[in-house]
Amino acid sequence: MVSGFGITSKGEKAKLYSIKNGKGMEIAVTDYGATLVKVFVPDKENVLQDVVLGYDSAEGYEKGDVYFGASVGRVANRIGGASFELNGKTYKLTANADGNSLHGGCDFYNKRMWKTVKAEDRSITFSLCSPDGDQGYPGKADIFITYELTEDNELKIHYHAVSDADTIMNLTNHSYFNLSGHASKTALDQEVMIAADAYTRADAESIPTGELVPVDGTPMDFREYKVIGQEIEADYEDLVLGKGYDHNWVLNGNGMRPVARMRSKETGIMMEVMTDLPGMQFYTGNFIISEAGKEGAEYKKRHGVCFETQYFPDAIHKEHFEGPVVKAGEAYDTTTVYKFLVEE
């Protein structure tokens, strides 16, 4: 199903596409930013809950700056000093976070109209042509993002891109989840599990120092389910610097695998995150002040949390971090799955 989703300040008409499966799940995505707008999941009482934060129309997404449901690129997360070297050449990016580049730095992918290239029953593909020099990055990149809803209640996001010159790339989705429902206020009472024995330590500007720190004995340990709010205010330097959880976890294993879970006792909704990527930013919405959201909801600090699967932040400056160089003509291909279940 497709409907109008408002008009941007440039006069572009946005559309909202809904996809339903046979299990009562439904998602809605817009071509404005290739953004995930709604995720309806039946809860333990079979009541549909929309478990992602968002706005009612493209206008909201255009004004907002906290990346609700956003497709982020060309390089999600931070690049220290807003510059990097590739093949002996220095590339300057826009510094939009303490002298560093965050989420592309400028002219954000989530604030552009994407092209709808394929709209099917259970999936939709958006594309964006990111020209050579876009945001300061080399190479013209053709980017495709596919959202698919399966009969197993999996929301699959597939990223595919090819650049005509060597470049760096790190695409992610910045959805904020609240499994008690998007308008239910804090997410701090919900539980999270992250299959990671270590995280990347970061400085006061959230740039990794290069150190991989074992989570053992720290508030960063989510190897077993833990209530998100339990230790978020702990007097632990890295947490204090991040103003809450806003760090990259070094995910155990490799290849497509389960990496995290979240659950709400209130609705019984459980979400499992799977990815083929090495890292994940678990970000607890520490910087949301007040956002006028869907259906009159007001979102504040920590009303939703993000599971941003990724190459490690600032990987281009750290030899021992995998990625994010993509060679000319080679496919960038990665998938992240958010799967929903109900626990009684």
What's the closest the beta carbon of residue 66 comes to ligand BGC, in angstroms? 5
Instruction: Using CB under 6 A, pick the residue from 7, 56, 59, 66 that binds ligand BGC.
Output: 66
Binding mask 25-44 for ligand BGC (x = CB under 6 A): --------------------
Q: Which is nearer to ligand BGC, 149 or 273 (CB)?
A: 273
Binding mask 241-260 for ligand BGC (x = CB under 6 A): -----x--------------
Sign of the Cα torsion 331, 150, 32, 275 reads negative
| Beta carbons of 128 and 33 less than 8 angstroms apart | no
Stretch that binds ligand BGC, among 32-40, 85-93, 252-260, 281-289 (CB under 6 A): 281-289
Q: Bridge partners of 128? A: 143
Q: Which is nearer to ligand BGC, 67 or 137 (CB)?
A: 67
10 Å CB burial of residue 86 (0-12, 13-18, 19+) is: middle
User: Does residue 67 bind ligand BGC (CB under 6 A)?
Assistant: yes
Instruction: Using CB under 6 A, pick the residue from 108, 282, 283, 338 that binds ligand BGC.
Output: 283
What's the closest the beta carbon of residue 190 comes to ligand BGC, in angstroms? 19
Instruction: Using CB under 6 A, pick the residue from 117, 204, 225, 287 that binds ligand BGC.
Output: 287
Q: CB-based contacts of 180: which residues, under 8 Å, 6+ apart?
A: 49, 187, 189, 190, 264, 266, 267, 269
Indicate the DSSP class of residue 263: E
What's the closest the beta carbon of residue 104 comes to ligand BGC, in angstroms? 11
Cα separation values, 28 from 49, 85, 119, 337, 343, Å: 13, 39, 12, 16, 24
User: Does residue 110 bind ligand BGC (CB under 6 A)?
Assistant: no
What's the closest the beta carbon of residue 77 comes to ligand BGC, in angstroms? 6
- Residue 318's closest CA among 224, 203, 194? 203
308 annotated active-site? yes
User: Does residue 101 bind ligand BGC (CB under 6 A)?
Assistant: no
What's the closest the beta carbon of residue 252 comes to ligand BGC, in angstroms? 21
Pick the catalytic residue from 103, 174, 247, 303.
174
Question: How many residues sit in the footprint of ligand BGC (CB under 6 A)?
Answer: 9
Alpha-carbon distance 146 to 158, whole Å?
5
- Residue 247's closest CA among 196, 290, 288? 196
10 Å CB burial of residue 161 (0-12, 13-18, 19+) is: buried
User: Does residue 291 bind ligand BGC (CB under 6 A)?
Assistant: no
Looking at residues 294 to 323 of the shown chain, list those that interact with ligand BGC (rule: CB under 6 A).
308
What's the closest the beta carbon of residue 176 comes to ligand BGC, in angstroms? 9
Stretch that binds ligand BGC, among 104-112, 114-122, 148-156, 280-288 (CB under 6 A): 280-288
Residue 4: CB atoms within 10 Å: 11
Stretch that binds ligand BGC, among 4-12, 109-117, 149-157, 279-287 (CB under 6 A): 279-287
- Residue 261's closest CA among 287, 223, 211? 223
Instruction: Using CB under 6 A, pick the residue from 35, 130, 173, 281 that binds ligand BGC.
Output: 281
Residue 171: CB atoms within 10 Å: 27
Alpha-carbon distance 226 to 213, whole Å?
19
What's the closest the beta carbon of residue 262 comes to ligand BGC, in angstroms? 17
Residue 334: HSE in the Cβ half-sphere, 13 Å Cα cutoff: 23
Alpha-carbon distance 110 to 226, whole Å?
32
Residues marked as catalytic: 174, 308
What residues line the site for ligand BGC (CB under 6 A)? 66-67, 77, 206, 246, 281, 283, 287, 308
